[in-house]
Chain A
Amino acid sequence: MEQSNTTPREARRRAWPMEKHRVEDWIGRIYTSICVVFLIAVIISIVYFVTSKGVATFAVNGVSLKEFFLGTNWNPQADTPSFGALPFITGSFMVTLLAALIASPLSISAALFMTEIVPSFGKRILQPAIELLSGIPSVVYGFIGLSVIVPFLREHVGGQGIGIGAGALVLSIMILPTITSVAADALASLPRGLREASYALGATRWQTIYRVVLPTVMPALLTGIVLGMARAFGEALAVQMVIGNSPHIPTSLLESASTLTSVITLGMGNTAMGSIQNNALWSMALVLMLMTFVFVLIIRLLERRNRL
């Protein structure tokens, strides 16, 4: 196209201080660079704003770090207010770990089923179906938790139904698709020869899976689990609807508890910006953000191991 252009135009272009080429390339370079700069500006401002708000609790309001991270008493409206956020931090970790414990074996089994046992059916029907479920909005999971899981627990297990167990169950269903699709992708990407070699040696399917397949994809499976945990840790509404929101470290799975996200959801609108209680909520957002960094770090380390 360009080559077949008439020569006078070409000549005129050459007479310009910059070739058309260069101009085009500059446009592209500038446009894409602006986009990248925007991306970086966004993350810097998120980190800056959340950090500066979150640090205010300690720097401006004088709450000690020890009280915030190790205190178990959250009572911001009392005459001598106390801001111990440990119940929320432990709550977040508990639901996340529980959800991962419930979801991981199920998800990995499903992934094995899809790739090792009935690959054709798994690939064509199961995998798309599961990916589809990862798109279901979290409020819908919360709704289901409130109208199915909570009454079920109340009637068949005991307690109030609402509580940390219900929260963990809702989250585990939510992260099932995440872990399953990462695990299935990892399993499917294994070279066929690996399995065939194992079968050729006379190994059974389970021996192949247990001795050959699983060890090879272990880092990828862990990546999937950590991704699921990151999602569970940051989930707000679905958890808030079923966990009960009591600011205490629960002593049983059926007891009401809180997570960082649930207490932020409940308190943010009710407190005035700049008040000490509001600042304490921002500190919890800061903790959430820092945990995101930790999760990303773990995933990166796992990926590095995976590559080796």
Chain B
Amino acid sequence: MSRKLPILLFTLTMILVLAACGSNTGTTGSGSTTGTTGEASTGTELSGSVLAVGSTALQPLVDQVAQKFMADSKYANVSVQVQGGGSGTGLTQVSEGQANIGNSDVFAEEKLDADKAKELVDHQVAVVAIATVANEAAGVTNLTKQQLVDIFTGKVKNWKDVGGKDQAIVIVNRPSSSGTRATYEKFALGQKVEDLAGSIQEDSSGTVKKLVTETPGAIGYLALSYLDDSLKAIQYDGVDASVENVESGKYPVWAYEHMYTKGEPDAATKALLDYMLTDEVQNGDVKDLGYISISGMQVKRDVEGKITK
């Protein structure tokens, strides 16, 4: 027995690996074929598998909606997998055909080469607003665009110069690859800023929140969903960072959450994307999780940032 044991284990492993490889090709195969069967025989139940990869900021929403989607008897045979990994990963994987949906905080054009981005179809599913936040010790409630630029470019180093207390400013920024930072720079500061020596950079909103709350004189920016009593948003040019102001277009610091597909989606993927846009989801889960519903938006914005009513 002991002689055969290693061999047995080895074969078992091989079988496992092979089976796994086999099943993988199986699922992707079924995913692509169900698209056609679904279209050919309307009326029969939809089946297939959908893989959505990407943005960690969008993941909680897609995760929750996917669970409801699968619980719906109409879509009982569709299985949805949601994975994080970051916007860049999501766009890479959807563009290379490894995932059905690439979740992203930014327009694909900002991450991918132009010809690759062209192949992707944009599905905007929600809006995220980003608010400036500061530690209590700062003592300010409103900052103008120019003041923000001065702070983030290092021209102003103390809160007293922008109407606050005598307290040194500590910048809690995001890393240069972050989608949140790209949005903030584009719409709040109107320019790209260099990283200052000594500034802190954190990618995750949780850490930013923790640091701004704890570090005296810290300033940072967070999605609205992260704000609570412990941390209050600062007005931007006198405008509150509120859902209403974003919807009406008064508050400019917001971005779409995108779910990209490569070309037109197959039936199962389309069903999920359509489901994302139903009123039930838009008025329910989207709002519950602190995003802003896409249907409520009174303004639209394109890749270049041009606003249309």
A and B: bona fide binding partners: yes
Is the C-beta of A271 less than 8 angstroms from some C-beta in chain B?
Answer: yes
CA distance A244 to B201 in the complex (A): 6
A272–B91 touching, CB < 8 Å = yes
CA distance A271 to B203 in the complex (A): 13
Please report the total number of A residues contacting B with Cβ < 8 Å. 40
CA distance A24 to B85 in the complex (A): 48
B88–A272 touching, CB < 8 Å = yes
CA distance A183 to B61 in the complex (A): 51
CA distance A272 to B89 in the complex (A): 6
B170–A160 touching, CB < 8 Å = yes
B197–A278 touching, CB < 8 Å = no
Q: Which of B77-117 contact A (CB under 8 A)?
A: 84-89, 91-92, 95-96, 111-113
Residues of B within 8 A of A283 (CB): none
Which residue of chain B has its CB nearest to the CB of A247? Answer: B195
A245–B200 touching, CB < 8 Å = yes
Query: Which of A76, A78, A79, A246 has the largest count of B CB atoms less than 10 A from its CB?
Result: A246
Is the C-beta of A152 less than 8 angstroms from some C-beta in chain B?
Answer: no
A75 to chain B, nearest CB (A): 6
Is the C-beta of B7 less than 8 angstroms from some C-beta in chain A?
Answer: yes
Residues of B within 8 A of A267 (CB): 175-177
CA distance A75 to B181 in the complex (A): 13
Residues of B within 8 A of A270 (CB): 86-88, 175, 177-179, 203
Which residue of chain A has its CB nearest to the CB of B91? Answer: A272
Is the C-beta of A173 less than 8 angstroms from some C-beta in chain B?
Answer: no
Query: Which of B89, B177, B196, B203 has the largest count of A CB atoms less than 10 A from its CB?
Result: B177
B82 to chain A, nearest CB (A): 15
A256–B92 touching, CB < 8 Å = no
Residues of A within 8 A of B26 (CB): none
A275–B200 touching, CB < 8 Å = no
Residues of B within 8 A of A263 (CB): 175
Is the C-beta of A27 less than 8 angstroms from some C-beta in chain B?
Answer: yes
Q: Which of A242-261 contact B (CB under 8 A)?
A: 244-251, 255-256, 258
Interface class of chain A by DSSP: loop
Q: Which of A78-101 contact B (CB under 8 A)?
A: 78-79
Which residue of chain A has its CB nearest to the CB of B105? Answer: A270
Supposing A256-B199, A270-B86 touch, asked if A76 and B192 sit within 8 A by C-beta, the answer is no
A162–B201 touching, CB < 8 Å = no
B176–A246 touching, CB < 8 Å = no
Supposing A154-B215, A266-B203, A271-B111 touch, asked if A76 and B197 sit within 8 A by C-beta, the answer is no
A151–B214 touching, CB < 8 Å = yes
Residues of A within 8 A of B176 (CB): 74-77, 247, 267, 277
Is the C-beta of B51 less than 8 angstroms from some C-beta in chain A?
Answer: no
Is the C-beta of A26 less than 8 angstroms from some C-beta in chain B?
Answer: no
Is the C-beta of A49 less than 8 angstroms from some C-beta in chain B?
Answer: no
A269–B88 touching, CB < 8 Å = yes
A73 to chain B, nearest CB (A): 8
Residues of A within 8 A of B175 (CB): 245, 263, 266-267, 270
A75's partner among B56, B194, B201, B215 (CB-CB below 8 A) is: B194
Is the C-beta of A161 less than 8 angstroms from some C-beta in chain B?
Answer: yes
Is the C-beta of B240 less than 8 angstroms from some C-beta in chain A?
Answer: no
B112–A248 touching, CB < 8 Å = no
Map CB proximity to A onto B1-28 as digits: 1 under 8 Å, 0 otherwise: 0010011001000000000000000000
CA distance A162 to B89 in the complex (A): 28
Q: Which of B172-215 contact A (CB under 8 A)?
A: 175-179, 182, 192, 194-203, 207, 210-211, 214-215
A272–B111 touching, CB < 8 Å = yes
Residues of A within 8 A of B210 (CB): 146
CA distance A106 to B84 in the complex (A): 41
Residues of A within 8 A of B197 (CB): 246, 248-251, 255
Residues of A within 8 A of B6 (CB): 31
B195–A75 touching, CB < 8 Å = yes
CA distance A277 to B112 in the complex (A): 11
A78–B194 touching, CB < 8 Å = yes
B86–A256 touching, CB < 8 Å = no
Supposing A161-B215, A162-B211, A269-B85 touch, asked if A77 and B177 sit within 8 A by C-beta, the answer is yes
Map CB proximity to A onto B62-90 as digits: 1 under 8 Å, 0 otherwise: 00000000000000000000001111110
Is the C-beta of A274 less than 8 angstroms from some C-beta in chain B?
Answer: yes
CA distance A160 to B111 in the complex (A): 33
Residues of B within 8 A of A250 (CB): 197-198
CA distance A271 to B85 in the complex (A): 10
B198's partner among A256, A271, A273 (CB-CB below 8 A) is: A256
Query: Which of B3, B89, B195 has the largest count of A CB atoms less than 10 A from its CB?
Result: B195
B92's partner among A74, A151, A245, A274 (CB-CB below 8 A) is: A274
Residues of A within 8 A of B170 (CB): 160
Is the C-beta of A268 less than 8 angstroms from some C-beta in chain B?
Answer: yes
B86–A246 touching, CB < 8 Å = no
A160–B178 touching, CB < 8 Å = no
Which residue of chain A has its CB nearest to the CB of B178? Answer: A270
A277–B177 touching, CB < 8 Å = yes
Which residue of chain A has its CB nearest to the CB of B6? Answer: A31
Map CB proximity to B onto A108-122 as digits: 1 under 8 Å, 0 otherwise: 000000000000000
Residues of A within 8 A of B199 (CB): 246, 256
CA distance A77 to B193 in the complex (A): 10
A79–B198 touching, CB < 8 Å = no
A271–B177 touching, CB < 8 Å = yes
13 contacts between A and B (CB under 8 A): A77-B177, A146-B210, A154-B214, A250-B197, A250-B198, A255-B197, A256-B200, A267-B175, A267-B176, A269-B85, A270-B175, A272-B112, A275-B111
Which 5 pairs show the lowest CB-CB distances between chains A and B?
Answer: A269-B86, A270-B177, A245-B201, A248-B197, A271-B88
